[in-house]
Amino acid sequence: MVADKTKKLKVSEKGENAEEIDGELVLSIEKLQEMQDELEKINEEASDKVLEIEQKYNEIRKPLYDQRNDLIKSIPDFWLTAFLSHPALGDLLNEEDQKIFKHLSSLEVEDHKDVKSGYSITFNFNPNPYFEDTKLVKTFTFLEEGTTKVTATPIKWKEGKDIPNGVSQEKKGNKRAASDVSFFTWFSDTEEKEDLDDLIHDEVAELIKDDLWPNPLNYFNSEDPDEAEEDDDEAGDAGKDDDDDSEDDDDDDDDDDEDE
């Protein structure tokens, strides 16, 4: 009986404290929310400061980028080589694109004045037999609703030179499928994508903006992956030949020992 009374007493005490515990929990959560709101304000301020600094240094970098572009113009096929040596962007240039890229004189990436609102990528070409334009610009504008507006210079192809699917119309009888990869197919694609997995234009633009543009010399100087593979194969074959020659020499030595 004593045990029963003690048990009832504990249950009773738990019931009386339940409301008090719930009240303390609510207060803790409310205080936690206030702290999180304060942290969000600080994070927003930090983001704004980072953007201000980025804008400042964009202005400082601009003259050097201009000087770099002038110097690059004196190096034959610089941008073509840099693109082809890039592990992802290289796959975007088919044979016809590569011929056109020989006329690419400079590339520029420029953030909008409000850095977080978007950027543009400009491709400057020398006069060439493929299109009338010497300046092609693709612009990405980030809208408030979270979507991206994409615009691109309409390419004025010269007669018989247009590359709608990445292959010149001169190549009759050897046209590629419409799904074939081409730089100019990507450049001209400004349609809004519904499938988040189908945002190739964003991926390509971001690679150019954040990877290739900051230091294209890294890729211009890098070894062609195909050539590197061939060199490895040749080195492997040479090593194998050396091993075979060594084994033959050992066999000859053994024969000499037996004769003695």
Instruction: Give pLDDT tens digits for 179-200.
Output: 467 899 999 998 865 544 444 4
pLDDT score at 17: 62
**Band of residue 224 on the pLDDT scale cut at 50, 70, 90:** low
**Band of residue 236 on the pLDDT scale cut at 50, 70, 90:** low
Mean pLDDT of the chain, nearest integer = 79
**Which of 16-20, 179-183, 249-253 tops mean pLDDT?**
179-183
pLDDT score at 11: 45
For residues 125 and 122, give the distance between their C-alpha atoms in angstroms, rounded to a whole number.
10
Residue 170 has pLDDT above 70, yes or no: no
As a whole number, mean pLDDT of residues 154-171 equals 69
Comparing 22 with 44, the larger pLDDT belongs to 44
DSSP character string of 21-39: HHHHHHHHHHHHHHHHHHH
**Band of residue 117 on the pLDDT scale cut at 50, 70, 90:** confident
The contacts of residue 116 (CB under 8 Å, 6+ apart) are 51, 142
DSSP character string of 181-200: --HHHHHH--PPPSSTT--H
pLDDT score at 146: 76
For residues 51 and 112, give the distance between their C-alpha atoms in angstroms, rounded to a whole number.
11
Least confident of 12-21, 28-37, 78-87, 123-132: 12-21
pLDDT score at 96: 92
- E runs forming strands in the chain: 104-111, 118-125, 135-142, 148-152
Least confident of 77-91, 148-162, 222-236: 222-236
Residue 116 has pLDDT above 50, yes or no: yes
Query: φ and ψ at 15, to 5 degrees?
Result: -65, -40
